[in-house]
Amino acid sequence: MLKIPCVLMRGGTSKGPVILASDLPADIAERDAVLLALMGAGHELEIDGIGGGAPQTSKVAIVSPSESPDADVDYLFVQVMVNERRVDTTPNCGNMLSAVGPFAIEKGLVNAQHPVTTVRIRNLNTGTLVDAEIQTPQGDVSYEGDTHIDGVPGTAAPVGLTFLNSAGCKTGKLLPTGHASDVIKGVAVTCIDMAMPMVLIDAASLGKSGGETPAELDGDRPFMARLETIRRQAGAAMGLGDVSGKVIPKPVLLSKPAAGGTIRARYFMPHNCHKSLAITGSIGIATATLIEGSVANKIVAPQPGARNNALTHIEHPGGKISVSLLKQGDEIEKTRAAVIRTSRKLFEGDVCVPEYVLSEAI
* d(C-alpha 227, C-alpha 254), whole Å: 13
8 Å CB contact between 248 and 176: no
Do the strands 182-184 and 59-65 form a parallel or antiparallel pair, or are they unpaired?
unpaired
Amino acid 301: pLDDT: 78
Cα 74 to Cα 6, 11, 70, 111, 194: the distances in Å are 16, 16, 10, 15, 20
Helices (H), 68-136: 94-106
- What is the value of pTM for the model shown? 0.87
Average pLDDT over residues 92-108: 97
306 pLDDT above the threshold of 90: no
Q: Does residue 260 contact residue 313 with C-beta atoms inside 8 Å?
A: yes
Percent share of the chain, pLDDT over 70:
97
Give dist(CA 128, CA 195) in Å, integer.
8
Average pLDDT estimate for 22-29? 97
The pLDDT of residue 307 is above 80 = no
H-state helical runs in 238-316: 279-288, 295-300
Tell me how crowded residue 67 is: count the other CB atoms within 10 A of its CB.
Answer: 9
* pLDDT band at residue 308 using 50, 70 and 90 as cut-offs: very low
Distance CA 97, CA 133 (A): 12
| DSSP one-letter code for 231 | H
In the DSSP assignment, the letter for residue 94 is H
Cα–Cα distance measured from residue 108 to residue 73, given in angstroms and rounded to the nearest whole number: 11
What mean pLDDT do residues 39-45 have?
Answer: 96
C-alpha angle 60/342/266, rounded to 5°? 75
Query: Which DSSP letter does residue 136 get?
Result: -
CA angle 335, 151, 137 (to 5 degrees): 70
* Summary mean pLDDT of the chain: 94
Q: What is the pLDDT of residues 104-155, one digit of tens each?
A: 999 999 999 999 999 999 999 999 999 999 999 999 999 999 999 999 999 9
In this predicted structure, the answer to whether residue 310 has a pLDDT above a threshold of 90 is no
Q: What percent of the chain has pLDDT over 90?
A: 90
| 156: exposed, middle or buried (Cβ count in 10 Å: 0-12, 13-18, 19+) | buried
Element (DSSP H or E) covering residue 160:
strand 158-163
Q: Which residues have CB under 8 Å from 172's CB, separation 6+?
A: 193
Query: Which has the closest alpha carbon to 169: 130, 133, 118?
Result: 130
- Closest by CA to 297, choosing from 256, 238, 249, 338, is 256
Dist. CA 194–CA 203, nearest whole Å: 21
pLDDT range class, residue 344, cuts 50, 70, 90: very high
User: Does 329 score more than 80 pLDDT?
Assistant: no
Residue 281, amino acid: G
∠ at Cα 242 (238, 246), nearest 5°? 90
Q: Are 72 and 131 in contact (CB under 8 A)?
A: no
